[in-house]
């Protein structure tokens, strides 16, 4: 490869990297088989997510999708039909009264709701080994409280949680080892501040961790000091 060819290849790679990435939910990749989806159908979903995120196309045609896949147009059409008829995705219609234009878009809420259900089901099957009856009762109680945290978030957000949001909560519990009461306190703090989003809640938990805040009572005291400027 000569220098000009190398430069052209390098420029092409750089342009490709700078064009950004697409946020494909990890849990979609993990669970699509349990949703009875084929590899082709999963790839159709990924392509649809890419069109929505990167090109602001809420309703790509089967031709748009097929051009990016090795599957035939017929296979892509059948895949889309299965996704819609199987309730994995839905089609919504919009009507602009001013322009008189009617448009359609794909809605992924049903997909994310099913994946969230699979995640909760999987977590409910995880049990500690060799527990005494008392310990097992305690474990069941903790599991119920964890499930309640997911439900509490759904109530405050007034919608089902996405798989990525469920994974975030699981990460707070399993990886960061935040207590249930601390996560609940952070959720309440975000509601109080009028900043109900996961990024803000994560920042609250990180700030509390750095300042050795481990209980809801400590969190309450820390927040009061923060607001009064007496930290």
Contacts with 225 (C-beta within 8 Å, 6 or more apart), sequence order: 231
Structure tokens at 150: 């997911």
Provide the angle, in degrees to the nearest 10, between the axes of the packed helices 109-124 and 163-174: 30
What pLDDT sits at residue 126?
Answer: 54
**Same fold: 19-107 with 114-228:** yes
- The CATH fold of domain 19-107: Arc Repressor Mutant, subunit A (1.10.10)
Regions of the chain short of the pLDDT cut 70: 1-20, 125-147, 163, 227-231
What pLDDT sits at residue 225?
Answer: 78
DSSP string, 15-72: HHHHT------HHHHHHTTTTT--HHHHHHHHHHHHHHHHH--SS--HHHHHTTSSS-
Can you give the residue ranges of every domain in the chain? 19-107, 114-228
What pLDDT sits at residue 50?
Answer: 92
Return d(Cα 91, Cα 107) in angstroms, integer.
6
Whether the Cβ atoms of residue 66 and residue 72 lie closer than 8 Å to each other: yes
What pLDDT sits at residue 44?
Answer: 96
What pLDDT sits at residue 94?
Answer: 82
What pLDDT sits at residue 131?
Answer: 45
In tens, the pLDDT along 196-225 reads 999 999 999 999 989 888 888 888 888 887
229: DSSP letter: T
In tens, the pLDDT along 1-38 reads 566 655 565 565 455 445 567 778 888 999 999 999 99
- The CATH fold of domain 114-228: Arc Repressor Mutant, subunit A (1.10.10)
Return d(Cα 124, Cα 77) in angstroms, integer.
36
């Amino acid at each position: 490869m000569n220098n000009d060819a190398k430069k052209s290849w390098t420029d092409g790679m750089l342009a490709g990297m700078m064009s950004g990435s697409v946020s494909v939910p990890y849990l979609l990749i993990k669970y699509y088989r349990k949703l009875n989806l084929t590899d082709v159908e999963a790839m159709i979903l990924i392509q649809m997510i890419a069109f929505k995120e990167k090109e602001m196309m809420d309703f790509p045609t089967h031709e748009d999708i097929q051009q990016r896949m090795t599957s035939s147009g017929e296979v892509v059409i059948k895949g889309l039909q299965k996704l819609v008829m199987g309730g994995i995705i839905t089609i919504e219609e919009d009507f602009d009264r001013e322009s008189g234009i009617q448009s359609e878009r794909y809605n992924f809420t049903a997909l994310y709701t099913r994946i969230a259900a699979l995640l909760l089901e999987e977590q409910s099957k995880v049990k500690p080994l060799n527990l005494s009856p008392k310990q097992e009762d305690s474990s069941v109680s903790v599991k119920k409280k964890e499930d309640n945290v997911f439900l509490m978030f759904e109530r405050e957000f007034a919608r089902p949680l996405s798989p990525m949001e469920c994974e975030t909560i699981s990460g707070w519990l399993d990886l960061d080892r935040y207590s249930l009461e601390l996560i609940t306190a952070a959720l309440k703090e975000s509601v109080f501040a009028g900043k109900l989003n996961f990024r803000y809640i994560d920042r609250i938990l990180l700030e509390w961790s750095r300042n050795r805040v481990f209980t809801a009572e400590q969190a309450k005291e820390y927040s009061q000091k923060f607001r009064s400027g007496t930290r």
